[in-house]
A and B are shown apart, each in its own frame.
Chain A
Amino acid sequence: MAENKKIAFMKLYEPVHEKFERFCKARVYGQLDYKDLMHDTIVIAYNKFETIKEAKAFLHFLFGVAIRILSNNSKKKSLDYTENLHQLEFITHEKTDIERTIELEHLKIALSRLPEDQRETLLLFEIVGFSIKEISHLQQIGESAVKQRLSRGRQNLVQILSPKSTKF
């Protein structure tokens, strides 16, 4: 029976794995190891798997768990990995364009500089592909608040990423 549960869980998880990893990576960049967040989320999601009534709800359920874990952990002190930006030198991507890689790393660093609520909302919208209504349900805020966070988040990102920015 446990085996069936594991198979059913992995069947629902596999299609959303890439989105989930990208969300976790960008969401906790510079704060903690994204694999920790992935692991903790998967353990809790698996243990509460029986509460999911239909397969369509799995994506919401998974991200809901991740968001709750992050809000519970938000008060703990965390190690700032972005202190030493020269760590970019150690990123090895064998098959991708170096410039593109550095641009993406700058985007992640810029995202990590945003307030948490704006960062999370932007990632749920841009990476995971949730609608404004779905994000409003997940974060338990109004739709106008979601739109405001998206708009301000994008503005802040452009400011941070612009060439004259001293925020790096």
Chain B
Amino acid sequence: MKEINLDQLFQELNQEATEVQISEITEWVKNIQSPGFRFKIASSIVGLSIILIVLYSFFKLNEQHLIIKTNKTTSVLPIENLNPSKVLPPQDVTILEASTFQEDRAKTDANIPNEPFQVFSFNKLPLKTVKSAQSTSFNERNASKNWILALFNIRNKQAIVFDSAIPQQNSLYILDTMQNYRSNRKFSMDEKDCYLQILNDYVVISYRFRGSMVFKSGKIYETGTMKLDGKEIRIYGFICDNRYSPTNFGQRNFFGVSESSSNSKELIFFGTNWEPFFTFHSHCASENERKKLMERSSMQKNL
């Protein structure tokens, strides 16, 4: 019987070749941004904002009328801080029978369904309370007139073109890896059946990462194209409903789909102020993968 020689084994382990090259470590260190750098950026933005306010006030005072006019627009609601007492509990907010995206196009100029619901805060930005027949989407035309609203809900207007393209599609992407948008490191999903599906105007995303389950589903209410780092991508905005799960109910999400090769797609999720946050590297589901997901779905009746 062969005796176990631990000392020899550890010695051999100490001679094992390393896989990570020093150049890779150098790259990691190169990409680290010190907290001080972010503070400088933030304080530059605040300083610039103050200068803009002062200049605007100066020019306004020099107009013929000395009283500064308030710029009232009817199609953009004033931003109000959400009062918890006004917010309905999820079970009282019903999702109406969803008419298709196409049918509702004629009813509003922002091309979204007329469903009365309240929009909850997302990343601590106060959002508008929506009443029926009014848009949840930020009206780009009015943003240019009311610069105060634009300042606190900044979007890069050069990069995004919202359109009325109806997502007539049935795409199923299997999520392979995830990475922070500005980092090179990829992280694998915990399971092989993590997916994002777009079915006409409805989105479902389900994945498990580092032991945590994430599930979001909702109707697409906004689509467009965006130029991101020189690449044109199609973007979708949806608000999480409570059809399958109450978690994330009311949360607003934006993501973009970009093709990296014929079968693989990058799904880029955005955070506040249209900053790309993280990317899923995915591939279009094969027939077998689609079949397995359908089987699982029919067993659970709720993905």
Of B25, B32, B35, the residue contacting A17 (CB under 8 A) is: B25
**Shortest Cβ distance from B294 into chain A, in angstroms?**
25
**Is A47 a contact of B32 with CB atoms below 8 Å?**
yes
Residue B30 is within 8 A (CB to CB) of chain A in the complex: yes
Closest-by-CB residue of B relative to A19 is B14
Residue A117 is within 8 A (CB to CB) of chain B in the complex: no
**Is B211 a contact of A22 with CB atoms below 8 Å?**
no
Contact with A along B12-45 (1 / 0, CB 8 A): 1110111110100110111010110100000000
**Is B211 a contact of A10 with CB atoms below 8 Å?**
no
Contact with B along A120-141 (1 / 0, CB 8 A): 0000001100000000000000
Residue B200 is within 8 A (CB to CB) of chain A in the complex: no
Q: Which residues of A contact B26 (CB under 8 A)?
A: 10
Mark the stretch among A30-38, A51-59, A63-71, A82-90 that contacts chain B. A30-38
Of A10, A38, A77, the residue contacting B20 (CB under 8 A) is: A38
**Is A158 a contact of B4 with CB atoms below 8 Å?**
yes
**Is A127 a contact of B14 with CB atoms below 8 Å?**
yes
Closest-by-CB residue of A relative to B18 is A21
Residue A76 is within 8 A (CB to CB) of chain B in the complex: yes
Of B4, B22, B28, the residue contacting A161 (CB under 8 A) is: B4
**Is A39 a contact of B18 with CB atoms below 8 Å?**
no
**Is A39 a contact of B28 with CB atoms below 8 Å?**
yes
- Residue count of chain B within 8 Å CB distance of chain A: 30
Question: Given known contacts A21-B20, A42-B28, is B4 in contact with A76 (CB within 8 Å)?
Answer: no
Q: Which residues of B contact A78 (CB under 8 A)?
A: 211
**Shortest Cβ distance from A166 into chain B, in angstroms?**
15
**Is B18 a contact of A17 with CB atoms below 8 Å?**
yes
Of A22, A77, A161, the residue contacting B13 (CB under 8 A) is: A22
Chain A binding surface, main DSSP class: helix
**Shortest Cβ distance from A105 into chain B, in angstroms?**
10
6 A-B pairs with the lowest CB-CB distances in the bound complex, closest first: A77-B211, A126-B10, A21-B18, A161-B4, A158-B4, A107-B9
Contact surface of A with B, Cβ cutoff 8 Å: 2, 6, 9-10, 13-14, 17-18, 21-22, 26, 33, 35-36, 38-39, 42-43, 46-47, 76-79, 96, 100, 103-104, 107-108, 126-127, 154, 157-158, 161-163
- For this complex, 26 residue pairs linking A to B, each with C-beta atoms less than 8 Å apart, are A6-B29, A10-B26, A17-B20, A17-B22, A17-B25, A18-B18, A21-B19, A22-B13, A26-B13, A33-B187, A33-B188, A35-B20, A39-B185, A42-B25, A43-B32, A46-B32, A76-B211, A77-B211, A96-B17, A104-B16, A107-B9, A126-B13, A126-B14, A127-B10, A158-B4, A161-B4
Contact surface of B with A, Cβ cutoff 8 Å: 1-2, 4, 6, 9-10, 12-14, 16-20, 22, 25-26, 28-30, 32, 34-35, 37, 185, 187-188, 190, 210-211
